Copies of this chain bind each other. A is one copy, B any other.
Amino acid sequence: MTPHNKLFIPGPVEVSENTWAAFSRPMIGHRGEDFKNLYRAIHPGLQTLFGTRQPVFLSTSSAWGVMEASIRNLADRGVLCCMCGAFSDKWFDVAKRCGKNAEPLQVDWGKHIDHKAVERHLATGKFDTVTLIHNETSTGVMNPLEEICRVLAKYPDVALVVDTVSSFSAVNIEMDALGIDVMLTGAQKALALPPGFSLFAVSGKAFARAEKIPNRGFYFDFLEFKKEQANWMTPSTPSIAHIHALQFKLAEIFEEGLEARFARHARTNALVHDWVRTAGFDFFAEEGFRSKTLTCVKNNKGIDVLEFARKLRDKHHLVIDPGYGKIRGQTFRLSNMGDETEETVSHLLTCLDDVL
């Protein structure tokens, strides 16, 4: 039997045996009481994780579905796309493909989005929607969400969409307190569920905006999600297995405790950072703006990154990412999100040393 290769890539991450067991619970219908009870049962925990009193929605799609949905539901006058890496850059392209006026606020990969630049753009009055990726997974940059949200608070006509795909549940993000209008995440990152599912919540302001935006369609219509959630249902047939797994994961998260969970991610992240320095590597992300869930390592030593990753896989059955998009080979990425502990991350680091 082929040995299992454990994932330390920044998504999908490793899924635990207990999560797989919940994922494979016998199927139920999605229009009956069993499903309603399931949705009702997980909802308070989801609201706590989102830091919101708004309904939290279950989207049977990857996060890009909800990212595009945010554009289709909210953008009218113009979208300001904060761009600092592969995924935030791509959001600009997606906005244009939806037929919307979009403009870039672009910084070099590895840099963060500066709140003062956001303010300068918003002052033009051209924008009604801002897209921001909290944790740019391709570069390992964590953007200064609070500072940016303070700028947005001065522009009540502008809706802020925040992708928390690789930071959600690993660091504290309080949607309502920050004034976020759409907050979204995927299943396969810090939640350590299998890919193919997303979660999101929408502010009252964003619902009111959506009512005035034509051609929102059906599958990703925020108002349709809201109407169905009021009855503990989803607009379309949901991926029930993902919701079963989410139910298990929420219980696990609250058993650990949120503060303990945040602290665990901070500790395992610090271990990786120590290894980067000791091994003589640099960080790709600038200091002060580094993710707590993954580390993008700059290949300043000029190693053969693909060969390094291959050796790690062949010898130790651990999988890391050799860099995304245009920085493939010039970087590599180490994830500490999900269920990883000081023990498992230390094991990874020992194995990295072994094959370096």
Cα(A165)–Cα(B21), bound, Å: 28
Q: Provide the bound-state CA to CA distance between A7 and B25, in Å.
A: 13
With A23-B23, A99-B214: A219-B61 Cβ-Cβ less than 8 Å? yes
B195 with A237: CB separation less than 8 A: yes
Q: Are A219's CB and B65's CB within 8 A? A: yes
Tell me the complex Cα distance, A103–B94, Å: 30
Are B196 and A237 neighbours in the complex by a CB distance under 8 Å? yes
User: Using Cβ atoms and an 8 Å threshold, which residues of chain B touch A65?
Assistant: 60-61, 65, 219, 236
Does chain B have a CB within 8 A of A288? no
Which chain A residues (43-84) contact chain B, with CB distance < 8 Å?
60-65, 68, 72
- Count A interface residues, CB 8 Å: 55
Residues of B with C-beta under 8 A to A221: 97
In the complex, whether A241 has a CB less than 8 A from a CB of chain B is yes
**A188 in the interface (beta carbon within 8 A):** yes
Residues of B within 8 A of A97 (CB): 215-218, 221
What residue of chain B has the Cβ atom nearest to residue A32's Cβ? B319
Verify B215–A11 contact, CB threshold 8 A: no
In the complex, the answer to whether A194 meets B237 with C-beta atoms within 8 Å is no
Q: Are A29 and B12 CB-contacts (below 8 A) given A23-B24, A219-B65, A236-B64? A: yes
**Distance (whole angstroms) from the CB of A57 to the closest CB of chain B:** 14
Q: How far is the CB of A38 from chain B (nearest CB, A)?
A: 13
Residues in B whose Cβ lies below 8 Å from that of A28: 5, 7, 12
Report how many copies the assembly holds. 2
A9 located at the interface, meaning its Cβ lies under 8 Å from any Cβ of chain B in the complex: yes
**Residue among A21, A64, A195, A219 with the highest chain B CB neighbour number at 10 A:** A219
Q: Tell me, rounded to whole Å, the shortest Cβ–Cβ distance linking A319 to chain B.
A: 6
> Please, how many angstroms separate the alpha-carbon atoms of A197 and B195 in the complex?
12
Considering only residues 91-105 of chain A, those with a C-beta below 8 Å from chain B are 93-94, 97-99
Judge whether A242 and B27 touch: CB under 8 Å: no
Q: Contact between A194 and B30 (Cβ–Cβ < 8 Å)?
A: no
Residue pair A63, B196 in contact (C-beta under 8 Å): no
A188 is contacted by which of B14, B26, B237 (Cβ under 8 Å)?
A: B237
* B188 A64 Cβ-Cβ under 8 A: no
Nearest 4 CB-CB pairings of A with B: A196-B239, A99-B215, A62-B236, A20-B24
11 contacts between A and B (CB under 8 A): A7-B28, A20-B24, A23-B241, A29-B321, A60-B196, A64-B219, A65-B236, A93-B218, A94-B217, A195-B240, A196-B238
